Amino acid sequence: MLDHLRALAVFSSVADAGSFRAAAARLGLSASVVSHHVTSLERHLDTPLIYRTTRKLSLTNAGKRLAISARAMLNAAEQGFGEIGHQTSNPMGKLKVTAPAILQYARFVARTSTFMRHNPNVELSMSFSDRRINHVEEGFDLGFRVGQLEDSSLMSKKLTDGRLHLCASPDYLRSNGKARTPEDLEKLELIDLAGVARDITLTKAGRAPREHILQMPHRISVDSGFAARRMAEEACGVVVMPDFFVRDRIAEGHLVEVLPKWHAPSYGIYAVWPPNSGTNHLRNSYLEFVAAIAKTESESDREPAG
């Protein structure tokens, strides 16, 4: 029995991920090693667990029953490890995380660095990318998203809110005219950043609140927040950016906020993870740490300067 527990854990990962390749990425093994473990388990049980085709795999009835038991076994083991980890206040293990590239320039990296300094028994693999990620197939334990959270089968937790800013360089506004109304702004050009809606609803508070759906022409479209910000600084147009990404550039005079009395929509920063990933105490410890500091910093950002 003990000889087959590792194979059972590998099989559970294949059942969750839906493919040998995805399970291999999650486990840090080669696809051939993963296939070998499943085959050895099938031989031991003398029954097929997985139907293999050139395009996909599916579980047999026996495989479905065993997958339920295997997941329960792993959850119980993880629960036990997690309880010991909480008692010793010493998280340990490997964590694979993905985040949008724009978060490289946020306090998120500093918070993660602090967590790693405080937890020397944790190994972290982090990918910053704006491409669409399949968390299950690529074996990520945790992901972060900025903006509106799309409908998804992933579990999620909102960490904090922020506000979008419309910005342009002083040179661009001198050459093209300052915008005093949303209608003036629509005569300027937008630098379109993938993931940010082109039709933005602006609101203005007051006794008679106003709302305007902004529709701006654009000739430039990029999929990098850093590139969009740099092109705005080079007087190529107006850009819509999260506050944390332009706050310093505005303070230094490289950018100015356009129509500061009109507010662009707020956005959220979310954590997401696969629903079949168990309790994962390491993930939860890291997430609790990041979320607590994110909330504190968000509140301090909203306080008026003294």
Q: Where are the alpha helices (H) located in 213-280, listed in sequence order?
A: 225-233, 243-251
Please report the DSSP string for 109-152 in residue order.
Answer: HHHHHHHHHH-TTEEEEEEE--S---TTTTT-SEEEEEESPPP-
119-148: average pLDDT: 83
As assigned by CATH, the class of the 2-87 domain is mainly alpha
pLDDT at residue 34 is higher than 50: yes
Q: Which two tokens stand for residue 241?
A: 């950016």
The token duo for 32 is 């051939």
**Three-state secondary structure call for residue 214:** strand
Q: What is the mean pLDDT of residues 143-164?
A: 81
Same CATH topology for 93-161+268-302 and 163-265?
yes
Tell me which fold the domain 93-161+268-302 belongs to.
D-Maltodextrin-Binding Protein; domain 2 (3.40.190)
- Find where tokens 């008026």 sit: 304
Q: Where are the domains of the chain?
A: 2-87, 93-161+268-302, 163-265
pLDDT tens-digit profile of 157-174?
A: 888 888 889 999 999 999
Closest CA to 232 of 174, 176, 169, 175: 169
Q: At a CB cut-off of 8 Å and minimum separation 6, what does 285 contact?
A: 85, 91, 119
Residue 157 neighbours by CB under 8 Å, 6+ apart: 270, 271, 287, 291
Model confidence at 254, pLDDT cuts 50, 70, 90, reads very high
- Indicate the range of 57-71, 136-150, 158-172 predicted with least confidence: 136-150
- Cβ within 8 Å of residue 59, ≥6 positions away: 15, 49, 50, 51, 67
Give dist(CA 262, CA 212) in Å, integer.
Answer: 9
Q: How far apart are the first and last CA of the chain?
A: 66
Mean of pLDDT values over 177-198: 83
Report which secondary-structure segment, H or E, holds 52: strand 50-52
The Cα–Cα gap between 144 and 157 comes to: 10
Question: How confident is the model at residue 70, as a pLDDT?
Answer: 82
Token readout for 138 is: 């690529």
Q: Which CATH architecture has domain 163-265?
A: 3-Layer(aba) Sandwich (3.40)
Looking at the whole model, is its pTM more than 0.85?
no
Rounded CA separation 257/71 (Å): 52
Helices 5-17 and 31-45, interaxial angle, to 10°? 120
Residue 190 identity (one-letter amino acid): L
What is the pLDDT at residue 295?
A: 57
Report how far residue 108's alpha carbon sits from residue 297's, in angstroms, rounded to the nearest whole number. Answer: 11
More confident residue, 88 or 208: 208
How confident is the model over 219-247, as a mean pLDDT?
Answer: 91
198, pLDDT greater than 80: no
Residue 255 predicted with pLDDT over 90: yes
pLDDT on residue 250: 94
Q: Give the separation between CA 53 and CA 241, rounded to whole angstroms.
A: 46
Nearest to 286 by CA among 120, 126, 111, 161: 111
Say yes or no to pLDDT of 267 above 70: yes
Question: Rounded to 10 degrees, what is the CA torsion of 144, 150, 152, 155?
Answer: 40
The residue among 300 and 128 whose pLDDT is bigger is 128
Report pLDDT for 304: 38
Read off the pLDDT band of 21 (50, 70, 90). Answer: confident
- Is residue 302 very low, low, confident or very high in pLDDT (cuts 50, 70, 90)? very low
